[in-house]
Structure 1
Amino acid sequence: MHPGIIFFLVILGSVLFHIFTPWYWTDIASNWGGMDDTITLTFWIGGGVFIAVCLFMIYCVLKFSYKKDRKVEYKPEDKKLEKILTWATTIGVAALLAPGLIIWNQYVSVPKNALEIDVMAWQWGWQYRLPGEDGKLGTTQVININDDNPFGINLDDPYGQDDVLIQSDLINLETNQPVKILLRSVDVLHNWYVPQFRAKMDAVPGIVTYYWFEPNKIGEYEVLCAEYCGIGHYAMRGGVEVQSSIDYKKWLSEQETFKELIAKQQKIEFGNKKIVKNNNFLLNKEIYKEE
């Protein structure tokens, strides 16, 4: 088969695969339609360059095929061609980078009315912290993280007392309410990703990364970890349910606050001490009888 035909079939197959592929992105459920537009633009520019290069190769194969009487022309440089290629490459790269930089600027420019949500990642699960009635999250320190204080909230910070704790892989969000995701990790790299939201970012141990989005379609969505984090990476999944304002407020009112968690732990601790004290009393009583 002639090489030119092979190149043509490669072009045709690639274009048809892109048009009719069954593996395409999911329906969008957030404000980040610009992400899809940027990716589409990248496909068009990259695809156009790919087709142009392949067509040029077909042209070269056909025009410069071996002929007995043809002589090779030595042309070490062509300033005109070099200028054309330099400018074409510059414009192409700028066209690829500019939309991405614009979207990135929007991605990290959080609206003032955004609800902050602390997303804590660990091998291999998620847990969440939302602001309470005061509308502010309490400050945290890594050194404070333990079984009794899973988020490391500073006990002397009044803003942290009413923080709502979701010690579960499932979280609810209010539709049409901008959300600022604050990502933390207690061990290795993770990445909180909901494909329908078109937004994700790495959770890096030791620092807080962030981005924002606005869920705008009521429904249930799957949370994935988009950064390999060990042997349990495949199972590090969760869920997000986007609800109406009424349903969300009802759900939020049913969740436990940090203050309530502390009170519950103190009650359990007091009960355990009482049991130990009673056991010691009975033990001493038995010893006294034996004597």
Structure 2
Amino acid sequence: MLVAIVIIILVVASLVFHFASPWWFTPLASNWSSIDDTINITFWVTGIVFVLVNCFLAYAVFRYRFNKNKRADYEPENKKLETWLTLITTIGVAAMLAPGLFVWGQFVNVPEDADVFEAVGQQWHWSYRLPGKDGILGQTAVELISEKNPFGINPEDANALDDILIFSNEMHVPIDQPVKVLMRSKDVLHNFAVPQFRVKMDLVPGLVSYLWFTPTKLGRYEILCEELCGMAHYTMRGHIVVDSRQSYDLWLAKQTTFAQTLQPPEYDLVKGKTLFAACSACHGSNGEGNEAMNAPQLASQPAWYMKRQLKYYQQGIRGSHKNDQFGQQMAAMSATLADDKAIDDVLAYIATLPEQAAKAGAGGNLAKGKILYRNCSYCHGDNGEGKFALNAPKLTGLQPWYLKRQLSNYQQSIRGAHRKDLYGSQMILMSRLLQNEQAVDDVVAYIGSLAPGGALTSNLPGKGRALQPETASAGE
């Protein structure tokens, strides 16, 4: 009797939890309401079976409970019962499968008027490519992938030159317009999923998979990698923004084409040196950094990373937190650089400055730090050299006190929590793998033991033409 009551209680509790649970579907923001319908049908079929089977079990436990005055009948076969069970099971399975097959037929047939973009997965980053005015994506090849050509695009393909490249992990799409997403992976198995759109698909190395959807609500939605793609795969996140057509066109007009990436930028080292005078007050005349001013070494950092940080400061993405005292100072200083040209000039000059080895951090265990650094090395490189393709900066050359402060800022969400900090959210998650201050000291000490790598000229912003070549020689 007690067992039967417990079974009934579990059934009722399960039903209450299911209908009252706060963990349910995210609000639908695409055309795929039919996917919700198939899931609901599955819930109803399996739910009815769950209730009936368990209620029958409770009845059987109660009805045929032990009684020393009764004996069980032996009945190995019951064709009537088996026929009914087979028929009911067939109807239940068909009710679950048929709607799914119908929806899958729609899912694999893309509307002819759908826009197209390509999503490229790489541990632990998303990047995107759109066709240019010709409407055709250019050819790609694995052997063409490099720091300067992270998409592996064929520069000799005329259709590729106007391809629009999105290096960040944030993509934009217009509302109420069907979108086809072509997907490829540069390394391992990934998965492209947007819960609000009810779409997901694997990215298989060597293949191009696809999915499509029509966004129906304006907003910013998270892209997840729902495949175990390696250590800390949960940090592989991006965003997709649904814009009005006007906002989308404005965003698209600001993006870079493949042809533009092939053109070396021009920079003026004389102007850069003049602009750097304001920076040198804190960061030193040779960009060597100054702990007394809480200013890190600049000469060790790649130009693409410093440019992103300067833009973040100018846009209030970094340095706006009330507890980021030094970030607030940098935000004010970054405003002295009037435009992108000024930023390129000063970064080109910084790239001519000699990198100085940072002092090793005190109080750290190098052996433990080396083990902890394995998580960092996937993005920042085995020797802390940084990886442009993963938007991960160089770590060697940075002072231990600065590294420690930044890790602490990430752990406390002082840095990286801004919704437009495209990579900060990943660093917040990764920094919290270091569970105490000693772990931070250990990994910082190990980074300090790594020798600076790469030629100094690798910090230059592209292979640009300096407008004052004689000044470049003097600066070097």
| TM-score under structure 2 length normalisation | 0.56
Q: Distance in 2 between matches of 1:153 and 1:5?
A: 66
Q: How does 1:156-195 map to 2 (within 5 A)?
A: 156-195=156-195
Which residue of structure 2 aligns with residue 138 of structure 1? 138
Other structure's SS at 1:239 match? strand
Q: Determine which of 440, 448, 463 is the counterpart of 1:269.
A: 463
Q: Which runs of 5+ in 2 are unaligned?
A: 268-461
Decide whether aligned partners of structure 1 residues 101 and 266 sit closer, same or farther in structure 2, where only a CA change above 3 A counts: farther
Residues 265, 465 of structure 2: 8 Å contact kept: no
Other structure's SS at 1:211 match? strand
Residues 123, 232 of structure 1: 8 Å contact kept: no
Residues 119, 127 of structure 2: 8 Å contact kept: yes
2:54 is aligned with 1:54: yes
Residues 264, 465 of structure 2: 8 Å contact kept: no
Displacement, 1:188? 0.9
Which residue of structure 2 aligns with residue 254 of structure 1? 254
| TM-score under structure 1 length normalisation | 0.91
Amino acid at match of 2:95: A
Other structure's SS at 1:269 match? coil
Alpha-carbon displacement from aligned partner over 1:28-78 (angstroms, at most 9, x marks no partner) = 100000111111110000000000100110111121111121112010111
Residues 264, 464 of structure 2: 8 Å contact kept: no
Q: Percent identity, aligned pairs only? A: 47
Alpha-carbon displacement from aligned partner over 1:86-145 (angstroms, at most 9, x marks no partner) = 111111111111111111111111011111111000000100001111112112122211
In terms of fraction of residues, the more strand-rich structure is: 1
The answer to which of 173-182 and 225-234 deviates more is: 225-234
Q: Distance in 2 between matches of 1:42 and 1:226?
A: 22
Amino acid at match of 2:141: Q
Q: Distance in 1 between matches of 2:158 and 2:206?
A: 24
Q: Distance in 2 between matches of 1:266 and 1:155?
A: 21
Q: Which runs of 5+ in 1 are unaligned?
A: 284-291
Q: Distance in 1 between matches of 2:81 and 2:228?
A: 45
Displacement, 1:232? 2.6
Q: Which has the higher contact order (CA 8 A, sep 6+)?
A: 1
2:220 is aligned with 1:26: no
Which residue of structure 2 aligns with residue 288 of structure 1? none
2:37 is aligned with 1:37: yes
The answer to which of 27-36 and 226-235 deviates more is: 226-235
Query: What is the aligned residue count?
Result: 280
Q: Distance in 2 between matches of 1:211 and 1:238?
A: 17
Q: How does 1:186-265 map to 2 (within 5 A)?
A: 186-264=186-264
Which residue of structure 1 aligns with residue 329 of structure 2? none
**Moved beyond 6 Å, runs of 4+:** none
Q: Distance in 2 between matches of 1:232 and 1:73?
A: 58
Q: How does 1:81-160 map to 2 (within 5 A)?
A: 81-160=81-160
Q: Distance in 2 between matches of 1:260 and 1:73?
A: 84
Other structure's SS at 1:264 match? coil
Decide whether aligned partners of structure 1 residues 260 and 146 sit closer, same or farther in structure 2, where only a CA change above 3 A counts: same
Q: Distance in 2 between matches of 1:38 and 1:74?
A: 41
Which residue of structure 1 aligns with residue 364 of structure 2? none
Which residue of structure 2 aligns with residue 70 of structure 1? 70
Residues 181, 211 of structure 1: 8 Å contact kept: yes
Displacement, 1:269? 2.5
Q: Distance in 2 between matches of 1:265 and 1:199?
A: 39
Displacement, 1:265? 6.8
